[in-house]
Amino acid sequence: MTSRSDLSARVPVDGNVPAKAFVLEVHTDDPDAYLAEIAGRGNVQDTDDAFLSRVFAPSAGEFWVDRLQPRFWVFHTTGASVPAAAWLRDRVESRRDTDWMWLPSAHLRYIAPDALSRRVGTRFDGERLVGSEDAARDLKVQLSGSHAERLLDKITDLPDYRSAVSFSNIEVDLNDPDLGPLRESVRRWGAFAAHGEQFTYHAQFVQTVISRYARLVESIEALSLRFDPLNEAISSTLQDPDTGGASFAGMPIGIRFSRQIPDLPAFCEELFSSRAPFRLWGQPAITEDEALVEAVDLHVGQRIGMELGHDWMRVYLHAGSCGNTVARLISNLQTRFDGALALTNPDLQDAAGLKPRTTLAGW
């Protein structure tokens, strides 16, 4: 049997091939059965660690699946990344209880406070949502060099272009006196590639990024709208069957855009077209200044209410819905419409827009 400490040898970060890690958000009450279901019977091997399994994927090779965080599973592999990602994508797309981790731009920009960024990339594609007259409709930049993120920061400082800057990937160098050097390449959909000396350093890095993201998702879910019937013992004293009453918690999630939606009907048509990456279905009711829609997030098969104006959006997430829906919406809006959008709830903005000071926590 394999133990967790064997992972360093099973997924070496000091080989010619980088170690890869892919993070999936999973909803299940029975993790073992779930893993067997997505991997296929006979393709899962237990280890000495209750949260670590070995998975054989016929088309993608071997994964080491770490379930330390019950909701965010890490699929470690040294196999080729394209078939690994394809195998995982098929799992994600065929299920409604599994999704990627959708990092907001700032989680990449401030990935680790003591990291030296070597390479950054933005792939902003506003062709479908940004007006053709806009100063920045598409922006694709990749820069290698010391403190590479500073170029994108400079572009962000230009008012006409800031809305087109969204970190899609970043590569950073870290160095720890005990753990040695580590180079991490991170994509916004929760994919990591690493070279270094110690697997444990890589594993901790991945867990730290997950923890920050988990905080964002939990902050979103804390705002979900909840109507709970008043205590039945209380109501029964009223002897009046025709009364209801419920406690209420939560609030809508506000998003403020830094650029105007030029054509609200066209924007809604695209956003609610069921197409990737948003995969939102909806039939909006549109007036001159506002659009209302009861949408369905087809990734998870859950309804989500939305209101849009020309420079704002209000999202009504209901109790029991997955916060990943909103996190994905934010991440995709950042790369398709407005990289400089802001969340109007201060706590949520803090969780989504990590600044250097806050990244220190937990790392």
Partner 1 sequence: MESRLVPANAILDLTLADGLNPAPLADAGWAVAALEMPVRVIGETVVCDVVLFNPRAGHLLAVEAKSGANLEPEQGRRLMALTPELLVSAGGITVPEPVPLRCEVLYACIAYNADRICMGADEAGLRVPVLAVGGSEARLLRPEMAGPLLSAALSAPVVWSHPIARIVPFDHESPAEAFDQPVRAELIAAMAQQRPSVTIRALTEQAVRHFPIYGRAAQGRLLRAVRDAARRAAEAEPERFRYERSTETTEERVAVLRSPETFDRRGRTQGYQAVWGSRASRPRRRAEIPGQMDLFSELDEAERVATEEESDNGNEGDGDAQ
Q: Work out which of 195, 259, 328, 336 binds partner 1, going by CB under 8 A.
A: 195
Distance CA 324, CA 139 (A): 26
CB of 297 to partner 1, least distance (A): 8
Phi, psi of 83 (to 5 degrees): -65, -30
Write down the residue that tokens 């054989």 correspond to.
56
**Would you list the DSSP string of 163-189?**
GG----EEEEEEEETTTEEEEEEEETT
Largest CA distance in the chain: 75
67 contacts partner 1 (rule: CB under 8 A): no
Which amino acid is it at 265?
A: P
Query: Measured from the CB atom, is 110 or 278 closer to partner 1?
Result: 278
Per-residue mark of binding to partner 1, 314-353 (x: CB under 8 A): x-x-x------------------------xxxx-------
Question: Which of 33, 158, 230, 361 forms a contact with partner 1 (CB under 8 A)?
Answer: 230
Q: Taking the alpha carbons of 359, 125, 129, 210 in that order, is the dihedral positive or negative?
A: negative
Which of the residues 71 through 100 are near partner 1 (CB under 8 A)? 80-82, 85, 93, 96
d(CA 318, CA 338): 25
| Residue 347 host element (H or E) | helix 346-352
Selected binder of partner 1 within 254, 258, 350, 363 (CB under 8 A): 254
Please select the residue that binds partner 1; options are 158, 247, 355, 356, rule is CB under 8 A.
Answer: 247
Q: Which among 41-49, 155-163, 311-319, 354-362 is the span making contact with partner 1, rule CB under 8 A?
A: 311-319
Q: Which is nearer to partner 1, 44 or 92 (CB)?
A: 92
The answer to whether 29 contacts partner 1 (rule: CB under 8 A) is no
Q: Does 51 contact partner 1 by CB under 8 A?
A: no
Task: By CB under 8 A, tell whether 310 contacts partner 1.
Answer: no
SS3 320: coil
Smallest gap from Cβ 62 to partner 1, in A, equals 16
In 3D space, the residue among 126, 157, 158 whose CA is nearest the CA of residue 140 turns out to be: 126
Nearest to partner 1 of 65, 223 (CB atom): 223
Query: Which amino acid is present at 358?
Result: T
